[in-house]
Amino acid sequence: MSDAGKLRPTSDSDAPAPLEERFTAGDPAALREAFDRHGSVVYAIALRCLGAHHDAEDVAQQVFVRAWRGRATFDSRRGPLGAWLVGITRRQVSERLAGQLRDLRTADRAGHAAPPPDPAPVSEQVVDAVVVADELGRLSPQVRAVVRLAFFDDLTHQQIAAVTGLPLGTVKSHLRRGLDRLRRGWAG
Amino acid sequence: MTTPHPDAERLTLAALPAEQSDPEVAAHLLVCAQCRAEVDALHRTVELARVDGVGEPLPIPPTRVWQAILDELAGDQGVAVARPAVDGVAPRTDGAGAIRSRPEPPDAAPPVSPPPAPVPLRARRWSRRGLAGVAAAAVVGLGLGVGVGLGVDGSEDPKPTPVVQLGPVGFADPTATGTAAMVDHDGDQRMVVELRGVTNLAGGDYLEAWLMDSSGSRLLPLGALARHGEEFRGEFTIPAGLPTGEYDRVDVSAERFDGDPGHSTVSLLRGDLA
């Protein structure tokens, strides 16, 4: 797209690069910042995959503990911190699911349980949907409001302009800008 | 391309659920794969956002999760963890620092385990005796450069020459990196497998090295890797008589002490020898 460049958001809430540097350097405050910034994505993925709050909390804990202990190996050239944490989350969740399956099979062999389900892989769709939901929450309030009206209230851009009082051109550019940012959240 | 690309805003509208179809854009999409891919990606984005219907904010992990992280890290060597100042609520990132690293005197242990000194071959302890009888090594047939620098640094131990970089498998452990190298040890061919940056191994699990064919259907267990912090190392004798040209892939898997001698299917790293 020849005009993709000019539509790229320049401000919004892009995480400042220094967090990743400070995290790798072992600045303890950076762990808290990473938890505040990415904790809900990690927790939400775990919760949607595992169902139980208790398991999701365990996974979130393990993800940040492992990330911190392995921070020397985080390489920002291979992707942002958030994506790295999501990768660790997927692995933790799939291990947890595999463990549950093993438990079920053991119980099954003992004759106590229904046949276990197949292990559910960590679904791409679950992960992507969480990432998109996270990005949606990070849009500037006006862009987010416009996008929400289009997504969840099924309004056309003309209706959105009428409802919000924003000029039609502004609505269209907000839609473009918001959607572009959400797309980059899951599609890179 | 007979028609110019519609601008980005019109393509965006084409991906939104309530908008009326724009005939010009629709006609263009029929003939332009580039714009079609753009609209598809945007449409997919809308679908992802609507997965749970209403776009509610993501749940916030409870405070006790952060507390549990602090508690677990409190035991780490070289990292001192201060309890949150007030009421179980951890301090924010204002420099008060929920976790306090010690100052950095040159001799102090860094927070992460230091790079390992040469390590003893404790890995052999776990190797599968039942397969140990298979005899020694079609190493050249494996396509390995047997670059052996015996005693390069004056030590007795041969210095392995990295020949194969191991790459991560999927998202199993995106931080892990590793090498597999051949060394000649008193006439035996040994494979030295080393991993760094393993951050995603569940407590109690261990890593095991394998040789496999490219389809993954033939497997030869080499043995477990010894752990030193986040680094792992194992040195394994390559059995002789190994069919040349098969078993040309090194695989490292996460394994559990579950009595199952097979591969767990959870591969962290792989590299092709040939």
DSSP B194-255: EEE------TT-EEEEEEE-TTS-SEEEEEEPEEETTEEEEEEEPPBTPPTTSS-EEEEEEE
A120: helix, coil or strand?
coil
Nearest-neighbour CA in chain B from A91: distance (Å)? 5
* Two structure tokens written together for A134: 């996270």
The answer, as to whether pTM is greater than 0.90, is no
Return the pLDDT at B45: 95
Least confident of A37-46, A51-60, B244-253: B244-253
For chain B positions 197-226, those within 8 Å of chain A (CB to CB) are 197-200, 202
Cα gap B144→B138, rounded to integer Å: 10
Q: Would you place residue B143 in the very low, low, confident or very high pLDDT band (cuts 50, 70, 90)?
A: very low
Helix (H, G, I), strand (E, B) or coil at A90: helix
Give the range among A44-58, A133-147, A171-185, B84-98 with minimum mean pLDDT.
B84-98
Among A161-165, B152-156, B244-248, name the most confident range.
Answer: A161-165
What integer pLDDT is reported at residue B140 of this predicted model? 29
B48 contacts A129? CB cut-off 8 A: yes
Give how far the C-alpha of residue A38 lies from the chain's centroid of Cα atoms, to the nearest Å. Answer: 8
Cβ atoms of residues B240 and B131 within 8 Å: no
Spatial distance between the Cα atoms of B193 and B233, rounded to a whole number of angstroms: 6
Residue B145 has pLDDT above 50, yes or no: no
Q: Which residues pair with B193 in a beta bridge?
A: B180, B234
Whether residues B48 and A91 touch (CB distance < 8 A) is answered with: no
pLDDT at A111: 60
Find the mean pLDDT for residues B66-79: 74
What is residue B201's predicted lDDT score, i.e. its pLDDT? Answer: 79
Distance from CA of B263 to the nearest CA of A (A): 14
Q: What pLDDT, on a 0 to 100 scale, did the predictor assign at position B61?
A: 93
What part of B 159-198 touches A (C-beta under 8 Å)?
171-177, 196-198
Strands, DSSP E only, in A11-97? Answer: none
In chain B, residues with a C-beta closer than 8 Å to the C-beta of A66 are 199-200
Question: Does the beta-carbon distance from B18 to A182 stay under 8 Å?
Answer: no
SS3 B163: strand
From CA A39, how far away is CA B98, in angstroms rounded?
A: 16
Structure tokens at B97: 């620092």
* B204: pLDDT strictly greater than 80: no
d(CA A182, CA A128): 10
Whether A28 and B101 lie within 8 Å, measured CB to CB = yes
> What torsion, rounded to 10 degrees, do the Cα atoms A128, A129, A131, A132 define?
120
Confidence of residue A187 (pLDDT cuts 50, 70, 90): confident
The more confident residue out of A121 and B103 is A121
Report residue B243 as tokens: 């069919």
Torsions phi, psi of B166, nearest 5? -95, 135
